[in-house]
Amino acid sequence: MTALTQAKPLSRRRFLTISAAAAGVAMSPALAMSPALALGKSAIQRWHGIALGAGAEIRLADTDRDHARKVFAAMEAEIRRLERVFSLYRTDSALAQLNREGRIVSPPPELVDLLATARSIHKTTSGAFDPSVQPLWDLYARTYAGGNRETDAALAPEDVDRVLQLTGFDKVQIAPERVAFERPGMALTLNGIAQGYMTDRISALLKNEGFTDILVNIGEIAASGNDPERPAGWEVLLAPGEVEQGRRIVLKDRAVATSALSGTTFDREARVSHILDPRTGRPARSGLAGASVVASSATVADGLSTAALVCGEQILAKALDGFAGAQAFLLRTDGSEAVLRAST
């Protein structure tokens, strides 16, 4: 069984998959039900759909078709609501309004909450995690449009330096009543953390509905309780990078997120990664090709896995210590692997 490991220019990173899903359960739109769910009572009921432009899945144990259909409809409605907060590409989202106008008054509480968490991870990783890199991302996307550039050397250094002046998460004012940029032309992307936040949100809502055995995959994975077929938890396949076989781990009441340099690339040759170093304005070169982080929340795991590719092993090791029980599975650019664990 292989995970999704083929790099494609300007496609979204996705190097983490549920091992059972990789066996042949295709993603389908909206509320389409899996064959098992269509039969009625099943050990696991599944929903497949789209969230923030990527495939998503929810698995619930010990419920019937009718109950699952109602619950999944409510969860899909919540996903759509959160997309109107975090989507970078919906013109009606709160994030799009912030980027367009440079400020947003009375922002959605979810936006303030996520930005506060992002700021905490920004500090913990010595600035490696920085949502304000969006102007840089736009510069690269424009430069490599059509795939007609081969390497990042094609970018003029003065252009990178100019756009770097529009970055800096410390220049973003975050308060419940207002979020604003200190400089015109700034913009945020939450693509390195919003999937984790939505995963946590849906998982929490399902727990409030009384479910105990849950797996939610909205770009990142949160697992609660047990897979009825594997009572020790939920088995997940990690494939951080261009490898045919990844590591298998069992999650129980934890979350995992994966980032890889080759997950999205700007050029046809897949040499110019979408993970940009906010300090240099260039694609990250930390010695890591991929990172999977396990933490108590998918939000934290998402942010740390993104930061890992920028900051490297030493800073990541210190950052993990701030999150009890966190661990990271790393793939280095030389092909070797490492595992880091929080000391607490």
Residues paired with residue 224 on neighbouring β-strands, in sequence order: 214
Q: Cα–Cα distance between 312 and 315 in angstroms, integer?
A: 6
Residues 6+ apart with CB under 8 A from 292: 16, 238, 240, 247, 256, 257, 258, 305, 328, 329, 330
Does the annotation flag 124 for ligand binding? no
Report DSSP state, residue 169.
Answer: G
Does the annotation flag 161 for ligand binding? no
**Three-class secondary structure of residue 310 per DSSP:** helix
Range 118-148 burial, b when 16+ CB lie within 10 A, else e: bbebbebbebbbbbbbbbbbebbeebbeeee
Does the annotation flag 92 for ligand binding? no
Closest CA to 198 of 111, 129, 134, 309: 111
Q: Cα–Cα distance between 177 and 170 in angstroms, integer?
A: 18
Closest CA to 16 of 334, 323, 331: 331
Binding-site residue ranges: 192, 302, 306
Binding-site residue ranges for Mg(2+): 192, 302, 306
